[in-house]
Amino acid sequence: MNVLLVYPEFPETFWSLRHALRFVRQRAVTPPLGLLTVAALLPPQWNKRLVDLNVQPLGSGDLEWAELVMISAMVAQRETAQALIARCKAAGRKVVAGGPLFSSEPESFPQVDHLVLGEAELSLPDFLADWQRTAARPRYQAEGFADIHDTPAPLWELADLRHYGCASIQFSRGCPFHCDFCSVTAMFGRRPRTKTAAQVRAELETLHRCGWKGGIFFVDDNLIGNKRELKRDLLPVLTQWQKEHGPAPLNTQVSINLADDETLPRLMAQAGFDTVFIGIETPDNSGLAECSKKQNQNRDLVADVKRLHRAGLQVQGGFIVGFDSDQPSIFQRQIDFIQKSGIMTAMVGRLQAIPGTQLYERMKQADRLVGRSTGDNVDGSSNIVPTMDARLLQEGYQSILRSIYSPRQYYRRLHRFLKEYRAPPIRAPLTFRRIFAGAWATWRLGFWGRERCHYWKMLLWTSVRRPLNLPLAIQLAIYGYHYRRVCELLISDGAGS
């Protein structure tokens, strides 16, 4: 059996980092971890081929070779997934689809031959058994949650890792918190399930054997959901692995209560973590209460962020406008918070209702849903009828993006961040690729960019005052260029009105 695993192309988004990746001659941020894990769940005698449309085209020869096509996608890939399915069907190929997009809106894909929904460890075996008997059903739905102690290591050898900026690994699924706009608990539950440290070590070893020497993203929705197992099992293994094979910078997603733990940030930095994404959402307590973001309420969020910066963990933040409790002042409050906190990567989006969430059900009952969520956190759109005047909300939202990613504001924030941030003990090695990216950034941003004066001031100040952080400062300047390009395109197109 020849099975072709295909990952649709992502549109140009905040997280695509398309403009930043050009500086390092890479094509996509991470390989498709879900499809590579599905590949490991397939019968070992099957012939498997991966085509990630973010790094290579799908050739007619690929479809001629395939006897079965398997597709996974995120919601943001809806349009490219539909085009891919149509092409596969036109070529006369059977299509199997699963993953977040298809699990959240299976009714949108009647042309798919077999939908395998929920966690693949549970739903895929039934499909495979029926397929072998030529009696496969149109739809398979997993019930409950998988024991990920049994999850195999992804087949990294199927991916051409040279084209990616970062590899990815999963330690846990689920989150103990239940924010009403988030689909994580609906998909994966509130009790975090973890792999064993031995499993993670084996995956790291496989990546190393495949020649990977770059950064690694732990894709967990909340890595600190089970602090006990994180401290006791995973971090010691990562620390030892760094001594044997590092340095390899790590990044992940956590909740803000990481700042409450006196030892965990230090242990994470020692294990190689240097970046954490945190859902801040809003500095307004009314908005936090409205979305059941209890872990963020009644605390000094700016102080929490700075505490993590001083521990060597750069904080990336998610922010939302469009809560019912939001007043017109929220736009400037968001700008002020982002500037004061020194959060360089600030993903600001309008509130969207995702199927399966409490927010979606509330909006549906109130007859306030209009269309579907796009899955793009920073496209300026929403599928919710707002309580604030729609024009005011859209103009206010765009004013945030226009402000925080203007060269003046961005480089002011970068200066504030660099003054606060303390370089972690494990840093990315200075490779030829990074040196080339730094040289090109200095040419592109320092001589031709609108930010050139700010760039040179940053470069000189960092070289003298924070020389260890100079590679990071250049990297963040490159990221800022990408974020500004994406936000300017959004604002000029007037999207999401």
pLDDT by 10s per residue, the chain, length 497: 999 999 999 999 999 999 999 999 999 999 999 999 999 999 999 999 999 999 999 999 999 999 999 999 999 999 999 999 999 999 999 999 999 999 999 999 999 999 999 999 999 999 999 999 999 999 999 999 999 999 999 999 999 999 999 999 999 999 999 999 999 998 999 999 999 999 999 999 999 999 999 999 999 999 999 999 999 999 999 999 999 998 999 999 999 999 999 999 999 999 999 999 999 999 999 999 999 999 999 999 999 999 999 999 999 999 999 999 999 999 999 999 999 999 999 999 999 999 999 999 999 999 999 999 998 878 889 999 999 999 999 999 999 999 999 999 999 999 999 999 999 988 888 888 899 999 999 999 999 999 999 999 999 999 999 999 999 999 999 999 999 999 998 888 654 43
Q: CA–CA separation, 476 vs 496, rounded Å?
A: 27
Q: In the beta sheet, which residues pair with residue 219?
A: none
| Contact (Cβ atoms closer than 8 angstroms) between residue 249 and residue 270 | no
Q: 2-141 adopts what CATH topology?
A: Rossmann fold (3.40.50)
> What's the pLDDT score for residue 494?
56
Determine contact, residues 112/97, Cβ cutoff 8 Å.
yes
Q: Are strands 172-173 and 193-194 parallel, antiparallel or unpaired?
A: antiparallel
Residue 379 and residue 13 in contact, taking contact as beta carbons nearer than 8 Å: yes
Can you give the pLDDT at residue 359? 97
At residue 311, the 3 state secondary structure works out as coil
Beta bridge partners of 140: 116
Amino acid (1-letter code) at residue 390: A
Give one word for 312, left, alpha or beta, with left for phi > 0 and alpha for psi -120 to 50. left
Would you state the pLDDT for residue 186? 85
**166-419 has which CATH code?**
3.20.20.70
Q: Could you give the C-alpha distances from 432 to 27, 189, 397, in angstroms and in order?
A: 17, 43, 39
Q: Minimal CA–CA distance to 164: which of 300, 26, 70, 290?
A: 26
Please, what's the b/e burial string for 92-106 (b: 16 or more CB within 10 A of its CB; e: otherwise)? ebbbbbbbbbbbbbb
Q: What is the pTM assigned to this prediction?
A: 0.96
State how far the Cα of 66 lies from the Cα of 51, in Å rounded to an integer: 12
Please tell me the distance from the alpha carbon of residue 476 to that of residue 404, in angstroms, as a whole number.
14
Q: Which long-range contacts (CB under 8 A, 24 or more apart) does 396-400 make?
A: 396/321, 396/328, 396/330, 396/331, 397/321, 397/322, 397/331, 397/348, 397/350, 397/496, 398/490, 398/491, 399/331, 399/335, 400/319, 400/321, 400/331, 400/334, 400/335, 400/348
